[in-house]
Structures are given as structure tokens and as C-alpha cells.
Amino acid sequence: MNPRRSGHTDAAMSTATREPERREERSEEDQERLNRQMMELLNELRVAMPGVQILFGFLLTVPFQQRFEQVTDFQQSVYFGTLICAAIAAAFLIAPSAYHRVMFEQQDKPNIIHIGTGQFLVGLAALAVAMNGAVLLVTDVLFEAGTVALTVALIGSLYLTLWFGFGLVRRVRK
């Protein structure tokens, strides 16, 4: 059968002939480890996604509220920055699933895991900034500057410590 008539290109045929070689190069133990890492990454993404979806949905409704016309220039800037960070977080947190789907059956699981992990971490950082921005926006409407600064500093420190700090300290100590 002619590969061009069946929709296969030379590159696809070449990739198909290499796939078994790659698979044989990895031991069963390596395959199990990669499968476990992939499942862990996907499960971690499932935890983060609802947070960014809820925040993004909330941010999309805010400008349509009557009181939004009363915001200061500072609050409008914080809102816009927060909205953009939430959109960036959504993009990076969805990216590993999209990348996995595009690279599916290419026998490149280590690269998929490596890139997906990086995308996930950038997404978490953007989500932390967006959530802190939302806290800043709300506290700036409700309280005086001292309360706003203290609240934002504490919440920002909380995200930094829980989401990144403990892991980075542990990683450096190993």
C-alpha cells in the first residue's frame, strides 16, 4: 500500500518505525515510573484547575456590576492585572493536557512530564499572583491601606511558603 495514499507521510512512517525501539530501550520499571509520574501530574492539575476556573469566572463578572464604575484607577489596574494573571494561569494549567494530547503516542513521556511540570509550576505562580490580586482588590475596597498591605503580604507569603517554599527548601537540602 502506498503510504501517501493512506494519509501517512514519510515522517510519520519514520516515527512509527522508531516507536518500538524507544519502548524497548526503557525497562518495565522505567515505564511504570513514567506512568506514575504522568498520573501524578494530571491529578495535580485536576486539583488546581477548579481554583483558576472559579477565580477567572468571578473576575469576568466583576466589570458588569453597578459598583464597578466607582473603582479607582489603582483598583482598575489591579483588576486588569489580576484578570490577566488568571488567564495566564488557566493557559499554563491547561497546557500540559493539551501538550500530552498533541504528543500522545510519540513515545516521549519523559519530555511530556518535564515540560508539563514546568507549565504547571508557571501556572501555579500565575494563580498565586491572581489570587493575591483578587484579595488586594477586595481588601482595598473594604479597608484602609494598613490592613490592605498587611493582608496582601500575609496571603502572598502563605502562597509562596505553602506552594513553593517548603518544596524548594527540601529540594536544596537533599
Under the banding of pLDDT at 50, 70 and 90, the label for residue 109 is confident
Q: pLDDT digits over 68-107, tens only?
A: 888 899 999 999 999 999 999 999 998 988 888 888 777 7
pLDDT at 87: 94
Cell of 62: 466583576
pLDDT in tens, 118-159: 999 999 999 999 999 999 999 998 999 999 999 999 999 999
Of the candidates 84, 150, 143, the residue with the CA atom closest to the CA atom of residue 158: 150
Q: Round to whole Å and give the CA distance between 40 and 28.
A: 18
Confidence of residue 7 (pLDDT cuts 50, 70, 90): very low
Share of the chain above pLDDT 70, in %: 85
Q: Please check whether residue 52 lies inside any domain of the structure.
A: yes
Give residue 122's domain range.
Answer: 28-173
* Confidence band for 112, pLDDT divided at 50, 70 and 90: confident
Whole-Å CA distances, 113 to 38, 45, 172: 6, 12, 21
CA-based nearest residue to 78, from 65, 67, 62, 90: 62
Return left, alpha or beta for 37; rule: phi > 0 is left, psi -120 to 50 is alpha, else beta.
alpha
pLDDT in tens, 12-50: 444 444 444 454 566 778 878 888 887 887 777 777 778
* Structural domain contains residue 79: yes
Number of domains in the chain: 1
Non-local CB neighbours of 143 within 8 Å, separated by 6+ positions:
151
Residue 24 is predicted with a pLDDT of 52
Considering only residues 6 and 30, tell me which one the structure prediction assigns the higher pLDDT.
30
Model pLDDT, residue 26: 64
Residue 129 forms part of a structural domain: yes
In a domain, 2, yes or no: no
